[in-house]
Amino acid sequence: MLAVRPRSFVPFVPTPSVSKSEVTHVSPMARTAPVPAATDPAIIRNFCIIAHIDHGKSTLADRMLQKTGVVAARDMKAQYLDRMDIERERGITIKSQAVRMPWEVDGTAHALNMIDTPGHVDFTYEVSRSLAACEGAVLLVDAAQGIEAQTLANLYLAMENDLTIIPVLNKIDLPAAQPEKYALELANLIGGDPADVLRVSGKTGEGVEALLDKIVRDLPAPVGNADAPARAMIFDSVYDTYRGVVTYVRVVDGKLSPRERIQMMSTKASHELLEIGVSSPEPTPTQGLGVGEVGYLITGVKDVRQSKVGDTVTNLAKPANESLGGYQDPKPMVFSGLYPLDGSDYPALRDALDKLQLNDAALVYEPETSVALGFGFRVGFLGLLHLEIVRERLEREFNLDLISTAPNVVYEVKTEDKKMITVTNPSEFPGGKILEVHEPMVAATVLAPNEFVGAIMELCQSRRGHMRGMDYLSEDRVELRYWLPLAEIVFDFFDVLKSKTRGYASLDWKADGEQISDLVKVDILLQGEQVDAFSAITHKDKAYSYGVMMTQKLRELIPRQQFEVPIQAAIGSRIIARESIRAIRKDVLAKCYGGDISRKRKLLEKQKEGKKRMKMVGRVEVPQEAFIAALSSDESKDKKK
């Protein structure tokens, strides 16, 4: 599937505390001499670390930075490469970074370029581009957990890119580690001898030097044509407040030099190379980047959409004929409406989205209005994690209070006159006769101990899944493959899976075609008026339960009014569920007793404030909290993934 992820606004300024002299000084051994300039491809090794989430990639990467002397121990903060605050808090890697590290083997100084990759399924495209920039991959597996779904998914991606794989077991310091068992599992998976599986601890540093040696010895050096027109692949592109967009590239052929003009092959846009250099790990300008080298470019462009992940950079004066291929535009998979709680924040929300987009090529949005929620935006995301991150940043960095509508996937609807309509919002679902509704599908892989096979099958079946296969990875671990509708998997599937398997199952999925399904739009009516924010597209068999769930929930959330309020769920004009809120008589006089005018005024002020928070839907007053509570059911469920 496709992906580019949100970027940080972290200033790209060298840290004064890591000066060059210190770097050599702190080096733990003589093997970490400074990387020579103008590198001969024979001494370069480009690799990445691939792993299931939480298996310890970032910790190992940190330890490598320390062992190679590029970061002094005292400057080491946990997860040096995960710069974004949200990343640190959640302990996940969202953006990838490339770092150059010196490492000497048999008296020869080598330059190791390590590309840290994100692990979440929303950002798989990022992983695949990072892999394409490497010759080898360290396949890292937690020695207390064994192979998980993303271990497999990433391994397959690495194999598709013809990478040399170095299998490594991490966390061997843990008392629960079972290196023998999992070395065998790994060896069965990729072939080879279990004794060749390296054992390391990112935490204590044990085995890390042996791993660096193995990277130098086992991985092939990059090959390319130094005399050909330049071709470099963009594998990351980050917006920086001071310098504009910083683009990370891997040079395949030719050379890129400072001050020359370069061209982006997909858009044909040309830019001047203001600066070119390598990260070690702070940016260090160089006289250019040659075959096999990994580094950064600064051209002064202000928007990452002008420098997209997967695109090929070439010289404008001597352009290459063919791009490196594999370029895809990021495609949003999940849409949600974002509305400011306070209507007057609408321009601020628009400005904030504009700013975030500078740094996130995958973020798309357009204005939308809702009867219930007022002015807002329909925003497209790569997945729920992407949605949460964007929302959190809008709230945190731009101080906005937001309501988001229940997320939905994109449907293609064929109407009676054979027109195909793309529906990103349930309210766009056409009313008349519908011939077909196409929904996006995913190929999902679940890994779990075999005692849970029954529970997993039951869950996938209830989510309209089609089984595609099942394999035993070892005697007690099974891999199940399903074809499932994206809409069924993207929201709470992982949570339910975890609870049904006591946390032992892991999940990975990628977009895989579409299917025609029996889908309908369920509307929610209050006092006979449709509330657009609550409409949903569901499978026909699930429409009734959605209707009942939503009407019951709203009955609890909406305060009693002075008249009876029917809450109905309907498919077209057919009512499928109904609840009603009984009437109350509001004793307005009770608030005004006593003669003190200031007290009366205070009461009036309070009432006015209360009214402000009410949204009028027809004649029914719906407190904003009811919208939030009703819409929040599907949110924040993807966190643990």
Ligand X SMILES: Nc1nc2c(ncn2[C@@H]2O[C@H](COP(=O)(O)OP(=O)(O)OP(=O)(O)O)[C@@H](O)[C@H]2O)c(=O)[nH]1
Question: Smallest distance from the beta carbon of 474 to ligand X, in angstroms?
Answer: 22
> What minimum distance in Å lies between the beta carbon of 336 and ligand X?
24
191 is in an annotated binding site: no
* Contact (CB, 8 A) for 383 and 429: no
Of 2, 35, 44, 53, the one binding ligand X (CB under 6 A) is 53
Should residue 67 be labelled a site residue for ligand X when binding is judged by CB under 6 A?
A: no
Tell me the window of 55-63, 123-131, 189-197, 497-505 that interacts with ligand X (CB under 6 A): 55-63
- Please state, in angstroms and as integers, the Cα–Cα distance from residue 194 to each residue in 155, 187, 199, 619, following that order: 17, 5, 11, 71
Q: Does 150 bind ligand X (CB under 6 A)?
A: no
CB of 114 to ligand X, least distance (A): 13
By beta-carbon proximity to ligand X, the closer residue of 39 and 58 is: 58
Of the ranges 168-176, 347-355, 430-438, 554-562, which one interacts with ligand X (CB under 6 A)? 168-176
Please check if 82 is assigned to a binding site: no
Report whether 116 contacts 58 (CB < 8 A): yes
Chosen residue from 7, 31, 45, 55 binding ligand X by CB under 6 A: 55
DSSP letter at 561 equals -
φ/ψ of 619, rounded to 5, equals -100, 0
Question: 134 with 99: CB under 8 angstroms?
Answer: no
Pick 7 or 57: Cβ nearer ligand X: 57
| 575 known member of a binding site | no
- Cβ contacts of residue 215 below 8 Å, gap of 6+? 45, 47, 103, 112, 136, 138, 166
Q: Closer to ligand X by CB, 53 or 256: give it.
A: 53
The pairing of beta strand 108-116 with beta strand 44-51: parallel
Cβ at position 465, least distance to ligand X in Å: 26
- Which residue number, 214 or 641, has a Cβ lying nearer to ligand X? 641
Residue with tokens 């935490």: 203
Looking at 7, 171, 464, 521, which residue binds ligand X (CB under 6 A)? 171
119 binds ligand X (CB under 6 A): yes
Residue 127 or 554 with smaller CB distance to ligand X: 127
The reply on whether position 93 binds ligand X by CB under 6 A is yes
* Dist CA 445 CA 470 (whole Å): 9
Window of 196-204, 399-407, 427-435, 522-530 that interacts with ligand X by CB under 6 A? 196-204
Q: Which residue from 414, 421, 332 is spatially nearest to 378, judged by alpha carbons?
A: 332
Minimum Å distance from CB 91 to ligand X?
A: 5
Interacting span for ligand X (CB under 6 A) from 86-94, 295-303, 346-354, 531-539:
86-94
Contact predicate 485/463, CB 8 Å: yes
CB of 206 to ligand X, least distance (A): 8
Instruction: Report d(CA 408, CA 491) in Å as an integer.
Output: 9
- Separation of alpha carbons 494 and 569, rounded Å: 28
Q: Are 136 and 218 in contact (CB under 8 A)?
A: yes
Question: How far, in Å, are 299, 328, 333, 373 from residue 354 at the CA level?
Answer: 21, 22, 20, 21
Q: DSSP readout, 464-477?
A: T-EEEEEEEEETTE
Radius of gyration from C-alpha coordinates of the chain: 28
85 near ligand X, rule: CB under 6 A: no
Among the listed ranges 35-43, 91-99, 497-505, 542-550, the one in contact with ligand X (CB under 6 A) is 91-99
Q: Distances in Å between the alpha carbon of 269 and those of 263, 307, 323, 512?
A: 6, 9, 14, 32
**Residue 54 within binding range of ligand X, rule CB under 6 A:** yes
In whole angstroms, how close is the CB of 203 to ligand X at the nearest point?
3
Residues in the chain, overall count: 641
Residue among 173, 412, 479, 495 that touches ligand X (CB under 6 A) = 173
Residue 5 contacts residue 337 (beta carbons within 8 Å): no
Name the nearest CA neighbour of 542 among 515, 571, 512, 567.
Answer: 571
Specify the residue, 53 or 384, whose C-beta has the smaller distance to ligand X.
53
The correct pick among 2, 35, 51, 385 for binding ligand X (CB under 6 A) is: 51
Q: Which stretch binds ligand X (CB under 6 A): 49-57, 334-342, 547-555, 567-575?
A: 49-57
Q: State yes or no: residue 222 binds ligand X (CB under 6 A).
A: no
Instruction: Decide if residue 203 touches ligand X (CB under 6 A).
Output: yes
171 is in an annotated binding site: yes
> Which of 515, 510, 629, 523 is CA-nearest to residue 568?
523
Q: What is the helix (H) or strand (E) element at residue 346, kind and residue range?
A: helix 346-358
Which of 8, 27, 32, 59 binds ligand X (CB under 6 A)? It is 59
The C-alpha atoms of residue 250 and residue 246 are separated, in whole angstroms, by: 13
Query: In the complex, what is the shortest distance from the CB of residue 315 to ligand X, in angstroms, rounded to a whole number?
Result: 36
Q: Tell whether 173 is in a known binding site.
A: yes
- The residue within the footprint of ligand X, chosen from 92, 132, 289, 352 (CB under 6 A), is 92
Per rule CB under 6 A, count of chain residues that contact ligand X: 19
Peptide bond into 485 cis (omega under 30): no
Question: In this structure, are residues 442 and 507 in contact, taking their beta carbons and an 8 Å threshold?
Answer: no
Nearest approach in angstroms of CB 53 to ligand X is 4
Least gap, CB of 173 to ligand X (angstroms): 5
Cβ closer to ligand X: 7 or 255? 7
450 labeled binding residue: no
Residue 505 to residue 525: CA distance in whole angstroms: 39
The one among 27, 46, 58, 535 contacting ligand X by CB under 6 A: 58
Feature table: binding site for GTP: 54-59, 170-173
- Binding footprint of ligand X on the chain (CB under 6 A): 51, 53-59, 91-93, 119, 170-171, 173-174, 201-203
